Amino acid sequence: MSTLYLIPCWLEEQVTAPLPAYILDAVKQCNVFFVENERSARRYLKTIWKEMVIDDYEWYPIHKAEEEVKVLFRKKLKEGKVIGLISEAGCPGVADPGQILTETAHQAGVPVKPLVGPSSILLALMASGMNGQQFRFAGYLPVDNAGRTKALKDLEAESQRLHSTQIFIETPYRNNQLLETILQTCRPSTRLCIAANLTSPAEYIRTLPISEWRRLAQPQSSHPGLPNLHKQPTIFALLA
């Protein structure tokens, strides 16, 4: 019987400690893999299962689940294949591609098996010390400064109104610019958590009021300053 396994991937390449052992059990049941990046997915699976014969399996790129990929996915379901779905980092379908193929599996009446694994969003929320009872993941904020500023003000207002943690991300090479805008825009009492390089040896997690982050931004020899987030995978969380 066909089954879809949603297979978590490492957040930091070669860091396998956060991956539960039962992920490998699921991988060994799969015949077909739909993946965000075939090369890195192959490398990932070969790392957690050294004996895996890569060429014994069918590999298909997701390509953001374009229509032709869904057609191929349905075909493999009808053939009774056991399918593994893998995105680039973390959990497929959570701020990563995969949800459209998962929806297709439900439409076909095929069992969907989500597996436990590292999610940068949840790890950041857990470590932030912020409200884990009410939270919202807002995804990417606008690129233009005016749109980004408005979005931050809206998130801050919603956070205050609902006492809700607001979680968001940015393309890694724009992280420092986003942090600068946050410090210019948000109120001094609003708390900001910066969670970067989660699960890696360079992991950085810190929650401070905006007023304290601004103090760190001032050049002094008595404190370490702001973290350099350029090209570092980072999760931001606000609580007003």
Round to whole Å and give the CA distance between 41 and 22. Answer: 17
Round to whole Å and give the CA distance between 234 and 142. Answer: 16
- pTM for the model stands at 0.92
Instruction: Tell me the per-residue pLDDT of 110-121, one tens digit each, with 9 for 90 and over.
Output: 999 999 999 999
Query: Which amino acid makes up residue 38?
Result: E
CB 168 within 8 A of CB 139: yes
Instruction: Tell me the per-residue pLDDT of 53-106, one tens digit each, with 9 for 90 and over.
Output: 999 999 999 977 688 899 999 999 999 999 999 999 999 999 888 999 999 999
What are 146's two structure tokens?
């005016």
* DSSP strands (E only) in 77-171: 82-86, 112-114, 135-140, 165-169
Instruction: Tell me the per-residue pLDDT of 154-199, one tens digit each, with 9 for 90 and over.
Output: 999 999 999 999 999 999 999 999 999 999 999 999 999 999 999 9
What are 86's two structure tokens?
């893998």
